[in-house]
Structure 1
Amino acid sequence: MNYKFEETTDEKNGKYLIIKGCEDSCRQLVIPESDSNLVPVRIIGNHAFSSRDDLVEVAIPNSVHTILGFAFHNCGNLKKISLTDSVTEYLDGGTRQCESLEEIEVFLENGNNYIIRRILEDNDRRLTFRMHMPDGEALLVFPGFNYDFVENTMARTIQFAIEGTGYAYRECVKSDQIGFREYDNLFSKVSADDKGTAEMIAMARILAPYELSEDARIAYEKWLLEHALKSLTIAVDNEGTVSKGKAGTNTGANIGTFDDYLRDTQEHTAFYLERKLITKADARKLAHIAADRGITAIVSMLMDYAETDSDVEKSGDEGVTNRKDDNILELDF
């Protein structure tokens, strides 16, 4: 790759490089740790990769400690960024107006949450963070939000209100810790506000249950069970759709984001079936819907599930099971 560098020196870092861009077209950009002379890359420069339509995925090495302003601004097809917590300075606009951005993967090698909080502060869109920590992995979906400005003519002031739960979810990320319990406690609000995002949050927490309490797990599973038919009907209806990014570029290609997992209708459905988070009656209804759409693989999965010999099925009420043979509700003790 034909990268553009600027070499500089200071007392703290010695000789190092600022990466200023790349002259070649690139779908998956891997920023190098150093140049051919082993001079390390420490900084991603101002507007280094801004307004590029070719970028879909970016990997930033742990040699980089600073991302300057608008480094990836307006990259309309950028879906995923991978980086480490070695980044200790992130200026405004780094990922702003990246309308296809879905996931940030962070390797927390030093226990530093700075880059997570700064990217969240810089974006009001929904984002998923895949966090790799020494003792486990977390998958957290942060809803989007909007600022609504209203003029108060009587008081001659401009007042603003925040629409959506995204701001409250962002407040769970502090400089020194992530409040997982605080994050889980917000679920009742987002589930009333945005059921699509609520499903993503619940599925993500179950898939990667880092510091997930038993009460929160039960609440997530109960909600998913109650909304399974509607959620999966939407997934089936969206089968085969392709997200189109700026300039018509195909950004629907699977690069391993959580959104990609959800867009795979078979994977999405299998999540519910493997965990018995859909009743057999709803599975049969969904099988008919899938059959009408001609999605035979999903029909087969659902009918196999609905016709299993297991005599115990979950219901929407906590601690209650439904016996297949007599339809009598029995309490679990």
Structure 2
Amino acid sequence: MRYIFEEKNNKNEEKYLVIKGCEDTCRKLVIPEAGSLPVKVIGNHAFSSRKDLVEVVIPNTIHTILGFAFHNCGNLKRITLTDSVSEYLDGGTRQCESLEEIEVFMENGNNYIIRRILEDNDRRLTFRIHMKDGDALMVFPGFNYDFVENTMARTIQFAIEGTGYAYRECVKSDQINIREYDNLFSKVSADDKGTAEMIAMARLLEPYELSDDARDTYGKWLLRHALKSLTKVVKNMDLKSGDPIGTFYDYFQNAEEHIAFYLDRGLLDKGEAGKLAHIAADRGITAIVSMLMNYAENDRDERNSDSDVKKMDDSSVTKGTGFLELDF
């Protein structure tokens, strides 16, 4: 790859490189750790407005991402980086309309880059966070600023629509407040059921510091809305979901994996499984019909087995004695 670098000196007169761009077309951009010198900075507008980028991988040598570094990269879906980034200027990922997921490897326990990217974006984002004591998968809803003119007071007032801002406030400079994050679920589930489903699935997939109460809340909500949610998944199955690269949203959009998530955890009522199987059959989706029929069949087998055990228990008791009748 033909990268463009600029050599700089820090305050200790140590030399390093600022990456200023790449002359080649690139779908997956892997920022090099070093050229002739260590690469420590991504320059202003270094990769802005590029339509070829889908993934970006940033090494742990990078400590600074300058303004608008990836601004307006319309097809960029995922960024992987570490918490070595200690300076992130405004606009770094702004107007990246396809951005779905940020993967962060926590080497220093520094939440700075997570908070700054969230502050820089009002769109829904998923963070896949690798910590020393476990992994977290966290979906942050989007939000909108709504400006209203108060003519009587001759002022402009603004209100925040959506729960995304409240979710962002769970990320502090020194910690991510998981309990506060989980406690917001009642609000997002009333506001945006699609995002609520994503949040619940993500938390159950990677249950980092997930309390029993929160697990129960997420599971019950998914069970209650399962038929409606999965019907939508089946009916949208023939729609193109873009260019899958393994993000959580790709998983969410994959009908077979999505339904398997519910079945593996028993989050679909057996009667509703039959209804969903009919919907899938009408659309000719045989793989999903098979999954649902097996799910229902296994349940019948379990019920029959339980019934057999009960009959055996009943027959093994001699009437009127209360003693087990055993054959040797």
TM-score by structure 1 length?
0.90
Is structure 2 residue 29 aligned with structure 1 residue 24? no
Q: Over residues 211-253 of structure 1, what are the superposed CA-to-partner deviations in whole Å (9 max), with x where a residue is unaligned?
A: 100000000000000000011111111113224xxxxxxxx22
User: How far, CA to CA, are the matches of 1:213 and 1:186 in structure 2?
Assistant: 14
CA distance in 2, matches of 1:176, 1:213: 21
| Counterpart residue number, 1:277 | 267
**Which deviations, in whole Å up to 9, do the C-alpha atoms of 1:101-154 show, x marking residues without a partner?**
000000010000000000000000000000000110000000000000000000
Residue 14 of structure 1 deviates from its aligned partner by: 1.2
Residue of structure 1 equivalent to 2:56:
58
In 1, Cα distance between equivalents of 2:3 and 2:143: 36
Residue 73 of structure 1: aligned partner:
71
Per the alignment, residue 105 of structure 2 pairs with 107
Q: Is it true that 1:291 corresponds to 2:281 in the alignment?
A: yes
- The structure richer in helix per residue is 2
Aligned residues, how many?
A: 303
Partners of 1:69 and 1:12 lie apart in 2 by 24
In structure 2, C-alpha distance between the alignment counterparts of 1:18 and 1:94, rounded to whole Å: 15
Q: Equivalent residue for 2:85? A: 87
Any idea what SS the aligned residue of 1:199 has? helix
Q: 1:198 to 1:13 in 2, by over 3 A?
A: farther
C-alpha offsets along residues 43-79 of structure 1, whole Å, 9 cap, x if unaligned? Answer: 0000000000000000000000000000000000000
Q: Counterpart of 1:189 in structure 2: which amino acid?
A: K
User: Which structure has the bigger radius of gyration?
Assistant: 2
Aligned to 2:45: 47
Q: Distance in 2 between matches of 1:13 and 1:263?
A: 50
SS of residue paired to 1:227: helix
Residue 94 of structure 2 aligns to which amino acid in structure 1? R
Q: Given residue 288 of structure 1, which amino acid in structure 2 is its aligned partner?
A: H
List alignment gaps of at least 5 residues for structure 2.
308-328
1:37-186 to 2 correspondences below 5 Å: 37=36, 39-186=37-184
Whose RCO is larger (CA < 8 A, sep 6+)?
Answer: 1
Alignment map for 1:292-331 (pairs within 5 Å):
292-308=282-298, 309-311=301-303
Cα deviation digits, residues 248-270 of structure 1 (max 9, x gap): xxxx2221100010111110000
In 2: Cα distance, 1:59 partner to 1:14 partner: 25
* Correspondence for 1:15: 15
Residue segments in structure 1 that go unaligned for 5+ positions in a row: 244-251, 313-322, 324-333
Q: What is residue 316 of structure 2 aligned with on the other side?
A: none
Q: Distance in 2 between matches of 1:86 and 1:134?
A: 15
Identity %: 78
Tell me the amino acid that sits aligned with residue 23 of structure 1: E
* Distance across 1 between alignment mates of 2:58 and 2:168: 23
Q: Distance in 2 between matches of 1:311 and 1:269?
A: 23
CA distance in structure 1 between the partners assigned to 2:176 and 2:206 by the alignment: 15
1:266 paired residue among 233, 256, 259: 256
SS at match of 1:300: helix
Distance 1:91-1:106 versus aligned 2 partners, 3 A rule: same
Counterpart of 1:311 in 2: which secondary structure?
A: helix
Distance in structure 2 (CA, Å) of the matches to 1:256 and 1:152: 47
1:211 corresponds to? 209
Aligned-CA RMSD value: 1.1
**Which whole-Å CA distance do the structure 1 matches of 2:233 and 2:125 have between them?**
19
Q: Deviations over 1:172-227 (max 9, x none)?
A: 00000000000000000000000000000000000000010000000000000000
- Please name the residue that 1:247 is paired with: none
Question: Alpha-carbon deviation of 1:13?
Answer: 7.2
Spell out structure 1 runs of 4+ moving beyond 2 A.
none
- C-alpha separation between the residues in 1 aligned to 2:89 and 2:48? 14
